[in-house]
Amino acid sequence: MTAFYNEHDPYSAQWLRNLIAAGHIAPGVVDERDIQDIEPYELAGFTQVHMFAGIGVWSAALRRNGWPDDRPIWTGSAPCFPAGTLVLTMRGYVPIEDVLVGDDVLTHRARWRRVSATGSAVSPLVRVRGQGHWGLEATPSHPFLTGDDEWTPADKLSGKRWRTISEVPVQAIPPVENERGVLFDRGRWRATGWKNDRTIYLGRYASESEARARRRAALDAGEIDVRGGDGADPTTLGFARFLGYWVGDGWTSRDSVFLCGAKGDGPLLAEILSGAWLACSPSIERTTARARFGSKALVGWLNRHFGSGATEKRLPAWLHGAPEPYRAAFLSGYLEADGHREGAVSRWTTTSRALAIGVRVLLNQQRVSASITKHTPKRINIIQGRRVSERPFYRVTAYETARSFQFGDCHGIGFVRSVEPCEAARVYNLAVDGDESYTADGIVVHNCQPFSNAGKREGTKDARHLFPVWKALIAQCRPSVVISEQVASKDGREWLGTVSLDLEALGFAVGASDLCAAGFGEAHLRQRIYFVGLADDDDTGLEGRAGMSERGNQRALGPGGLVSGLEHPHVAGEQWWDAPGGKQPLRHLDCRTDENDAICDQGKIAERWRDVDWLLCRNPAGEPSWRPVESGTFPLAHGITNRMGKLRAYGNALDLETASAFVACVKEICNGI
């Protein structure tokens, strides 16, 4: 064994083992402990030490440049909320551990922005209780929005006022794609319907949209009868009321939609169904009123956007972006199904955490104060002769008048009552383009990486700044070469100054470059500071070494320099490429086409993106969508069963092309290593 890999994330660690077994990176052992638990003597006998190893990109970059596995070098890439915390994304409320790079999340500026990276670590937690949440757990230093531009660490929130979501950008209501009655036949679209159990021919049309419009007009005019869910139009207020009732007391089977109510609710169900253009007559059973109608299209639509099963119900992002009357109609239907009103106070009960949070956000959007309490019963009930253990449930309470809860331009403003410590757990964090903020269970928070452009940007003051631990290992083990990288923010550059002084005090000569992945043919920016420390036993410093400038603190540009190739990237431009019909982002090019093969042949797209792998995702409307990822990425992750863990590990990975270019320059500096 020649290499020691330290990586605490279990998915990344398993990926490392796969890469070692496949022979893609240096052979070695994978250690999943916190770096603070590693003793210097444990590293004896290893020629390569990779701290914060990720998925082994530093080792791959070394091998690509002919760096022998038995040549000494150390590398590192130094790093929130516990699993289950819900983040509002364009695809709805998603557990933070399942948020992916590329997802759009709602930020503190009430706009959608792309997730650029994800991360996780094991950390102590605090539980924050306040208006709008029964107890949100976070790391003590995680910043919460408490003013127009004021961010407060979680452990300092007591007595402050945190911000909740009360404004969401406008979004279109997705249609129900009902295939019944519209058929493609001999080059044209045929529209049909039914009247008095007879088929009615409505005509043939050049496009599907024309055929559907004709069928909708026939339904509105009474030319044909509504059957089951054929008349469903999700944009109407009547349908919004139906949605609210279905979320509260409805379910689906393979091809049918059900509503249920008390025995005397038959007329109410009939009114709701009629208002939503859904054909069904409620039936009265022994203890309930029930309605059932068939529609495979509507079943799929409901399950996709609102979930299935009482504990899995949720609200889609587009509902928050719907017009105010539509949201009010939904809340009205939900109150009729699963709530009750006492004067100026309304209450709902649900076993779904996501639904409780979504309803509270809807209420805040209506400028109504709302709180959530969590209840964990321990009793067993007997229902119709069956023993039933009660699930934990959430109670949402809305107050038409609340003096202590206030509203700003785009946020609710709630009082934080208490902060208390709780047990350590694995936590997750997101980096977000531009705003560097997102929502956790509907509460507005900031990214909290120590050196990112996020939150308080405490940098070296942050408890998660682990370079001092790494430095202590370097000081005792005395490696001859150390390379690393850090985010290229203001705090990252200040961090580099401190690290340089520390390493120079240990007898290392240090050089660095600020590099952009787009300059090396990648389809993203990923701006990072790369640095190298060389053990300076002869006391000559980096000045005068091959490829270095007169002064070690200046960048060396051009052939043979530290950032050789930066001014001559593999592709023209950074993120936009010349394509037929004009410039397009690389991620929108379908590299499987002959047309784009021709573009690749012209050298306008990096060779490695010619034969991309295609990853099946879902777009914001919940429909299947294919996205390109670099060729050969996922076969190397065989054996990792958790898809989200695999994607998280890939999203956090160091950029191989940039790292390889930097390693090539380091090798040149080291005079023929």
Task: Give the DSSP letter of residue 312.
Answer: G
In a domain, 380, yes or no: yes
In a domain, 459, yes or no: no
Task: Give the DSSP letter of residue 573.
Answer: S
Residues 402 and 414 placed together within one structural domain of the fold: no
Residues 143 and 209 placed together within one structural domain of the fold: no
Closest CA relative to residue 96, chosen from 444, 441, 524: 441
Residues 512 and 397 placed together within one structural domain of the fold: no
Assess contact for 87 and 96: CB atoms under 8 A: yes
Q: Which residue has the higher pLDDT, 664 or 640?
A: 664
pLDDT score for 542: 42
Residues 144 and 191 placed together within one structural domain of the fold: no
pLDDT score for 605: 41
Q: Which residue has the tokens 């910043």?
A: 143
Interstrand relation of 161-165 and 411-432 (parallel, antiparallel or unpaired): antiparallel
Residues 137 and 191 placed together within one structural domain of the fold: no
Judge whether residue 621 has pLDDT over 70: no
Helices (H) and strands (E) counted in the chain, each on its own, are: 14, 37
Residues 309 and 364 placed together within one structural domain of the fold: yes
Assess contact for 669 and 547: CB atoms under 8 A: yes
pLDDT one-digit tens code per residue, 179-210: 677 888 888 898 888 788 788 889 999 998 89
pLDDT score for 25: 93
Can you give the residue range of the structural domain that contains 40? 3-78+464-535
pLDDT one-digit tens code per residue, 209-243: 898 888 888 877 888 876 667 667 899 999 999 99
User: What is the average pLDDT value for the chain, to the nearest integer?
Assistant: 77
Judge whether residue 1 has pLDDT over 80: no
In a domain, 607, yes or no: no
- Cα(483)–Cα(487) distance, integer angstroms: 14
Sign of CA dihedral 453, 456, 457, 463: negative
Q: Which residue has the higher pLDDT, 76 or 78?
A: 76
In a domain, 22, yes or no: yes
Q: What is the CATH number of the domain that holds 152?
A: 2.170.16.10
Residues 253 and 309 placed together within one structural domain of the fold: yes
Judge whether residue 105 has pLDDT over 90: yes
pLDDT (average), residues 270-284: 86
Sign of CA dihedral 179, 183, 188, 190: negative
Assign 145 a pLDDT band (cuts: 50, 70, 90). very high
- Cα(232)–Cα(509) distance, integer angstroms: 71
- Cα(362)–Cα(354) distance, integer angstroms: 12
In a domain, 518, yes or no: yes
Tokens of 101: 């790079």
Least reliable range by pLDDT among 281-290, 427-436, 486-495: 486-495
Q: Which residue has the higher pLDDT, 584 or 1?
A: 1
- Cα(75)–Cα(114) distance, integer angstroms: 29
pLDDT (average), residues 234-263: 92
- This prediction's pTM: 0.58
Assign 271 a pLDDT band (cuts: 50, 70, 90). very high
Q: Give the amino acid at 358.
A: G
- Cα(392)–Cα(638) distance, integer angstroms: 37
Examine the fold and report which residue of 511, 535, 559 is the final residue of a domain before the chain moves on.
535
Q: Which of 240-249, 472-481, 659-668 has the highest mean pLDDT?
A: 240-249
Burial grade of 172 (CB within 10 A; 0-12, 13-18, 19 or more) = exposed
Least reliable range by pLDDT among 167-181, 529-543, 568-582, 594-608: 568-582
Residues 345 and 247 placed together within one structural domain of the fold: yes
Q: Which residue has the higher pLDDT, 109 or 566?
A: 109
Q: Which residue has the higher pLDDT, 261 or 378?
A: 261
Residues 336 and 369 placed together within one structural domain of the fold: yes
Residues 93 and 57 placed together within one structural domain of the fold: no
In a domain, 92, yes or no: yes
Write the secondary structure of 243-279 as one string of H (helix), E (strand) and C (coil): HHHHHHHEEECCCEEEEEEEHHHHHHHHHHHHHCCCC
In a domain, 213, yes or no: yes
Residues with Cβ < 8 Å from 285, sequence gap 6 or more?
A: 263
In a domain, 671, yes or no: no
Residues 89 and 187 placed together within one structural domain of the fold: no
In the chain, the number of structural domains is 4
pLDDT (average), residues 134-145: 88
Examine the fold and report which residue of 486, 509, 535 is the final residue of a domain before the chain moves on.
535
Residues 428 and 306 placed together within one structural domain of the fold: no
Examine the fold and report which residue of 535, 552, 583 is the final residue of a domain before the chain moves on.
535
